Chain A
Amino acid sequence: MIVDFNLNEKDYMVDVPPDMRALDLIRDVLRLTGVKEGCGRGECGACTILVNGKPFNSCLLYAVKLNGKKVLTIEGLAQADGSLHPLQEAFLNEGAVQCGYCTPGMILSAKALLDENPSPEEEEIEEALSGNICRCTGYKKIVTAVKAGAKVMREKV
C-alpha cells in the first residue's frame, strides 16, 4: 500500500505492507532512528511522533495511517542550520537528559503541548507528558525544562 506523506518537511511516497507499524516505516525504511521503541505497546511514549501536530505512539499506529499526514520526528525539530529548538536547548541546559532514550518522545510531547498552549500550568505539563516514561531523571528537571522552553518560545513569537 502506498503511503504518501510529509515527514519533517519532506514529501515521501513509500510502498508498505498493510501491517507495518509507523514506527518501523520511520526507523527501518526511512532510517530516522531518533524515534525509539521502548515497549511496543503504547505504554512508555519513547516512540512518540507528531502527526498533524498531535502526539501519537508510533508503535500503535499503522504506517498507512500516515497517508496524507504531516509528520514530525525529533530529527525535524532543529533548524536546517543545526540550531536547536528552544525545547532541545532547555532539556540540555536544565539537565533534563540522562540516558536520553526517552528524550525524543518527551520533547515531542512537550512541543505538541506548547504549540497549543504556550503558557501551560504545571498540571497541564504533567498531563501532556503523562504518557512518556523516564527512568533516569525523576522528571523534576523535565518539568523545569518544559517551562524554560515555553518561556523562550513565547518570547520568540
Chain B
Amino acid sequence: MAGKKSTIIGKAQKKIDGIELVTGRARFTADLRFPQMVYGYARRAGIPAGKIKRIDKEHALGIPGVLDVITASDLPGPNLIGILPPFDQPLLAEEEVRYAGESIALVVAETRDIAKRASLSIVAEIEPLEPVLTVDEALKPEARKIHPHGNITFSRKLIKGDVEKGFERADIVVENTYETSFQEHAYLETEAVCVVPHGDGRITVYASCQSPFHIRGHIAVNLNVPASRVKVIQAYTGGSFGGKDDVATEMGCLAAIAAIRLNRAVMIVHDREESIIGSNLRHASRIHYKTGATKEGKIIAREVKILLDGGAYASESPFVTMKTLIHAAGPYNIENVFVESTAVYTNKTYCGAFRGFGVPQVTFASESQMDELASELEMDPLELRLKNALKAGDATATGQVFRKSVGLVKTIQVIDGKRKHVQSKKLQDEERWLYGTGFSCLLQGISNGAEGIDVVGASVQVSQDGSVLVGVGLSDMGQGSRTVFAQVAAEVLGVSMERVTVKQVDTESVHDSGPTIASRSTTVGGMAVLKAAQEVKNSLVKMAALMFNTREEKVVLKDGFASLYEDDSARIPLDKVATAAYWNGFPLMNLAFSKAPDANYDHQTHQGDIYIAYNFGTHMMRIRIDRYTGKVEVLKHIAAHDLGKAINPQGVEGQVEGASLMGFGLAHLEEVLYDRGIIQNPNFADYAVPGIKERLPTETVIIEDYNPTGPFGAKGIGEPPVAGAAAAFANAVADATGIRFLRLPITREVILEALRGKQ
C-alpha cells in the first residue's frame, strides 16, 4: 500500500495549515475578540515563600474600569490544578506562597492595561518565610516542609541485575557528578486563553495549549459543572514544547471562573515575564554516574543517582523522574543497572514537561561519562558506543526486549562513515582556534508507556464528494502533526492531500486522547488514523466492488478513483463511489483507537515492557573555540536518527533542526538565573534564546528501521534530538579544550575562564 510508488508517504509535504500562517490569517487566541470581552491579569506573589496574612482588594476595585478581583476565598471549587497526582497546586495561593511567580489574585477589567495596573494596587500582606532554595537545603532533615508531605516530590529506583557484583568484576570504573540548569520553553507566543460564557450553562474556552482535555477536566472540577458543558477549542498555538499544559489549565480555570462571575467573555494573555516566572521550566539536575567496564570496553555495571530540582509544585515531576530513571543507562546493553531518581520541592518556579522530559539531562551526563570511559580505556569514543549499543533482541535498562526497530548501530555507523571526511578538513589558524569533535548516542521512549495509559481516538469521515475529514484528539502546536495525519488518511483512501481536512482540535469533536506529549502523535495518533481510514476504505471498496460487479479484492483506491488492480482504465471517481455508499447505507465515518499494549511493568524495580518503541540516535558535532575569547563556532552537526519511517521527511528535518538548536541552547546559552528565589532574567534581552546567528548547520540523516507499532513503520522524532545535540556539544568542548565541563550550560564565559585557569 505504502509501497515505493506512494506520492504521499515519505514525500516532503507542505504544512496543510501553512497558508494561514504565512498570510497572517491564522487566529491565535490573543487575536480573538468577543462582544463585551474583558481582560484578566494575575497579581503574583513577588516573594518565594510566605504566609498570606491579608489580601486587600478595595483599592484595586476602586479603580475605574476594574470589574472584579478574585482571590482564593472567592473560588467556587477545590482551588486545584496540578495536572497529575499528588495534585498539590492551587489556582490561586491560599494560605502559603511557594514561589515568587505564583498567582495570588486575578483582576478583571475593561482593558488589559487597567487590569495590569490594578493588579499592582492590590495590597498583599505576606509574612515572609525563609525560602528553601536548593535541593540540598530541601533534603536536610531539619528543612522547612514546603508541602505537608515533605520536600520529596517523587522518588523511585530502577534495579536490573546486581550492580555491586557488576562493579566487582569491572576492570575499570569511572565516576563523576554532572549538573544542568533550568531552561525556559520560550515559545514565541505567550500563553493565552479566552473563555466565552453562553448563558445556558455552557462555556467555550479558546486556548493556546497542548492538552485541551486537561483544561476541560480542570474547569469542570473547579467550577463544579459537568465537563460536557465545557468546550475547549485549541486555537492556533505558537509553540508549546511541553510548556502549555499546567499553565494553560491554571489560566483556563481562572478565566472561566471570572467569565461566570461577570457573565462576560474573559481573555487572559501572559506577558513574556509572566510566561517565564509563572509557568513551568525544565528541571535543573544533579546527576552522579558510576560506570564499570571490562578492559575490552564492555560496560557491565552502571549506577546513577539523580536529583531533580522541581520547584514549588509537582506538575509532571513524577513522570519526568520516571523518564530519567528509564533513560539513565543510555542506549546500551548493560547487565547490571541501578538508578535512583528523586524530584525535590524548592521555593522556585515549578518544573514540568519540556521537550525531552528529563532525557536531555541524563543523556548529557551519560554521554560525558562514556567519553571519560573511552579516554580511560584509550578507546575510540564511537567504538566504545558501538561495542555496547543496544541491538534487536537485547534487553533495555527496564529489561524490555525489542525484536524490531532498534536502529542504533546504523546511526553510529553512518556517523562513523562521515567523521573522517569532517575531521580531515584542514585546520585554520590553530594558534587561535581549538578544534574538537563530540559524539553522543541516545534513546528516547515513544508513547506514554507505563507512566500512564496511551490511547488515541481518531475519526475519519468521507463525504459524498469523496473529500476526507480527519479528527484526532492530539494538538498540533507547530510540529506538523496535522499534516502527518492528513498524509496517513490520504494514503489509505487514495486521495490527494488537497482532498483531506484535519479538524482543529476541540473537545466536542474529537475523542479525549490525553496530552500531546512523549513524541507520540505520529506513532500512536497516526496509527489511530490509519485504522479509522481503513474502516471507511472498506465501505468504499465494498461499494465499488458492487458497482464494478467484481470481488472486493480486485478493487484499489488511488488518485481519487476506485479502480481495478488488473485494469487501471476501469475506474470510478471516488465521489461517485462515496455517494453510492451513502445511499446504500454503508458507514462513511469511523472512530478508531490506537492503544499501546498494557504495560507489563513492575513499579518497584522498574523492570518490564514500558514503551511501544524507542527512537535511537547518534549525533556528531565539530566545533572550534577561540582560545582568546571563548567564542564557539559549530562547523558541522550531523544528527542521525532511527525513526522507523519518515512520513514527511521535510517535517522530520524541521523537528531535528529545531530540537537540536534547543539542545544546543541548553548546553551552551540558556539558563534561568535565580537570586534568592527571584528570576533575574525573565525577558529575551537577558535570557539567551538562540538567534539566527547561533543556528546549527544541522545535517539530518534519516535511518528507517521499520517499527511495527507505528503507521507505515514510523516512530516519533519531536523530542530526541534535544538530548543528542546537547550531549554532543559538551563532548566537543571537552575534545577541543581538554577540559571536561560538568555543568550545563557551558557558556563562552565558562569556557574562557577554564582556559585561563589552565594556562
> In the complex the two chains form, is A126's CB within 8 Å of B188's CB?
no
Contact, CB under 8 Å: B696 / A138: yes
Say whether, besides A101-B239, A133-B691, A33 and B27 are in contact (CB < 8 Å): yes
| B-contacting residues, A93-145, CB 8 Å | 93, 95, 97-104, 107, 125-126, 129-130, 132-143
B695 contact from A38, A95, A140, Cβ within 8 A: A140
Quick one: closest B residue to A91, CB to CB?
B22
**Digit string of A29-47 for contact with B (CB within 8 Å is 1, else 0)?**
0011111111111011010
Task: Closest A residue to B721 by CB, please name it.
Answer: A138
Closest CB-CB distance, B234 to chain A, in whole Å?
12
Contact A95 B651 (CB under 8 A): yes
A40→B580 CA distance, assembly (Å): 56
With A78-B23, A137-B657, A140-B657 known as contacts, the answer to whether A98 contacts B239 (CB < 8 A) is: yes
Contacts A33-B24, A101-B28 given: A138-B660 contact, CB under 8 Å?
Answer: yes
CA distance A74 to B651 in the complex (A): 24
A75 CB within 8 Å of chain B: yes
Among the stretches B419-427, B505-513, B682-690, the one at the interface with A is: B682-690
A92 at interface by CB-CB < 8 Å: yes
| A104 → B minimal CB distance (Å) | 5
Smallest CB separation, B108 vs chain A (Å): 18
1/0 per residue, CB under 8 A from A, across B20-32: the answer is: 1111111110110
Roughly how many angstroms separate A150 CA and B346 CA in the complex, as a whole number? 51
Q: Is B479 located at the chain interface by the 8 A CB criterion?
A: yes
C-alpha spacing A36/B239, complex, angstroms: 14
Q: Which of chain A's residues have a CB closer than 8 A to the CB of B659?
A: 138
Q: Out of A39, A125, A130, A140, which one reaches B683, CB within 8 Å?
A: A39
Within 8 Å by CB of A38, from B25, B189, B693, lies: B189
Contact across chains for A43 and B684 when beta carbons are under 8 A apart: yes
For the complex, give the distance between the alpha carbons of A21 and B467 in Å: 45
Q: Does B237 contact A (CB under 8 A)?
A: yes
CA separation between A73 and B22, bound complex, in Å?
Answer: 12
- Residue from the list A43, A133, A140 in contact with B697, Cβ < 8 A: A140
Determine whether A1 belongs to the interface, using a CB cutoff of 8 Å to chain B.
no
**Is B473 on the interface with A (CB-CB < 8 A)?**
no
- Verify A95–B654 contact, CB threshold 8 A: yes
User: B239, A141: Cβ atoms under 8 Å?
Assistant: no
Do B23 and A34 have beta carbons less than 8 Å apart? yes
Question: What are the residues of chain B within 8 A of A95 when measuring CB–CB?
Answer: 12, 14-15, 650-651, 653-654
A77 within 8 A of B: yes
Contact A138 B684, beta carbon cutoff 8 Å: no
Contact in complex: A100, B695 (CB < 8 Å): no
Is B750 part of the binding interface, using a Cβ–Cβ cutoff of 8 Å? no
Give the complex CA separation of A21 and B12 in angstroms: 41
Chain B residues with CB below 8 A from A129, complex form: 692
Contact yes or no, A141 B188, CB < 8 A: no
A125 to B691, CA, bound (A): 12
A-B contact count (CB 8 A): 166
Are B188 and A138 touching (Cβ within 8 A)? no
Is A58 engaged at the interface, CB distance under 8 Å to the other chain?
Answer: no
Chain A residues whose C-beta falls within 8 Å of the C-beta of B691 in the assembled complex = 130, 133, 139
Q: Closest A-chain residue to B12, C-beta based?
A: A95
CB distance from B332 to the nearest CB of A (A): 28
Q: Are B14 and A37 in contact (CB under 8 A)?
A: no
Compute how far the CA of A46 lies from the CA of B28 in the bound complex, rounded to whole angstroms.
13
User: Are B188 and A36 in contact, with the CB atoms below 8 A?
Assistant: yes
Residues of B with C-beta under 8 A to A130: 691-693
A142 to B685, CA, bound (A): 22
Across the interface, B478 reaches (CB within 8 A) one of A32, A39, A99, A141, namely A99
Contacting residues, chain B, for A107 (C-beta < 8 A):
22
Q: By the criterion CB–CB under 8 Å, are B661 and A74 in contact?
A: no
Not counting A38-B190, A41-B685, A100-B238, a sample of 20 additional A-B residue pairs whose C-beta atoms are within 8 angstroms of each other reads A31-B33, A33-B27, A33-B28, A46-B188, A92-B18, A92-B19, A92-B22, A95-B653, A99-B21, A99-B478, A100-B17, A103-B21, A104-B24, A130-B692, A133-B188, A134-B692, A137-B654, A138-B695, A139-B691, A139-B692
- Which of B's residues lie within 8 Å of A, judged by CB? 12, 14-15, 17-28, 30-31, 33, 185-190, 236-239, 241, 271-272, 477-480, 650-651, 653-654, 657-662, 683-685, 689, 691-693, 695-698
Can you report 16 A-B residue pairs in the complex whose CB atoms are below 8 A from each other?
A36-B28, A36-B238, A40-B271, A78-B23, A84-B19, A91-B18, A92-B14, A95-B14, A95-B654, A97-B18, A98-B479, A100-B18, A130-B691, A133-B186, A135-B187, A137-B657
